[in-house]
Amino acid sequence: MLFSALKSRRYRRYWFGSMGTVGASQLMIMAQGWLIFELSGSPMDLGILGAAVSGPAIVVLFFGGILADRFDRRYLLMTTSLITAVLLLVQAFLDYSGVVEVWHVLVLGCVIGIVTGFEWPVRQAFFAKLITRDQMMSAVSLNSILWQGSRMILPALAGVLIAASGTALLFALGALGFVVMFLTLIGMQVERQVATTGSTIKQFAEGIRFIFNHR
């Protein structure tokens, strides 16, 4: 059944908390692009923004997976949520105070991209521990509904908010969304995985080898 994963109290709590980070991510993307174009009017800068955010995220994905195997995933997600919230608050302050420049958006976007790259594999490994095997398909479907729904609804909402108050509000709301996830994870009881030992470089090389051998 589609909603069977919500029978798990821990997953249900996590799913509703994820509304904060998923929504925050969509608002952040809209605000970054709008602000860059507002500051420079350059399509080139928009392209650079996309590369600055997504490039580092892709590079560190492998290392995020290694971290997920070595450390407590709940604490990792709490850490990435808090860091992203702080970065978005900095962006909101720069924007609201009127001193923001293109390079501010690019640098902060790059750092957020790095944090997101570490977070994504940790998130995928974490939610699987909140459900039973027979609830997996339901959980994957619910996660997809959350992401796709936010992509349909929030860009329109972001446009309304930008017209009413500007992009600083979106960055502040984005920070709030990540704080919601941080608070959601506090006190959540999750079985700790056994830490993986061994060389990080060796694990990274094994991951690359696996990808090329299973194309």
Write the CATH number for 64: 1.20.1250.20
Residue 88 lies in a domain: yes
Query: What is the chain's mean pLDDT, rounded?
Result: 86
Provide the domain limits for residue 76: 8-188
Residue 167 lies in a domain: yes
- CA 210, CA 215: separation in Å to the nearest integer? 9
- The identity of residue 38, as a single letter, is E
Q: Are 100 and 94 in contact (CB under 8 A)?
A: yes
pLDDT tens string 7-49: 888 888 888 989 999 999 999 999 999 999 999 988 999 999 9
The pLDDT value recorded for residue 127 is: 82
pLDDT tens string 92-129: 999 999 999 999 999 999 999 999 998 988 888 888 88
Burial of 111 (C-beta count, 10 Å sphere; 0-12/13-18/19+): middle
CA distances 24 to 8, 96, 102, 126, 203, Å, are 24, 18, 21, 20, 32
Output phi, psi for 158, to 5 deg. Answer: -60, -40
Residue 81 lies in a domain: yes
The pLDDT value recorded for residue 204 is: 53
Residue 200 lies in a domain: no
- CA 29, CA 53: separation in Å to the nearest integer? 10
Number of domains within the chain: 1
- CA 30, CA 199: separation in Å to the nearest integer? 40
Residue 196 lies in a domain: no
Q: Are 94 and 191 in contact (CB under 8 A)?
A: no
Q: What is the CA radius of gyration of the chain?
A: 18
This prediction's pTM: 0.86
Residue 111 lies in a domain: yes
pLDDT tens string 175-205: 999 999 999 999 787 766 555 555 555 655 5
Q: Note the residue count of the chain.
A: 215
Residue 29 lies in a domain: yes
Residue 215 lies in a domain: no
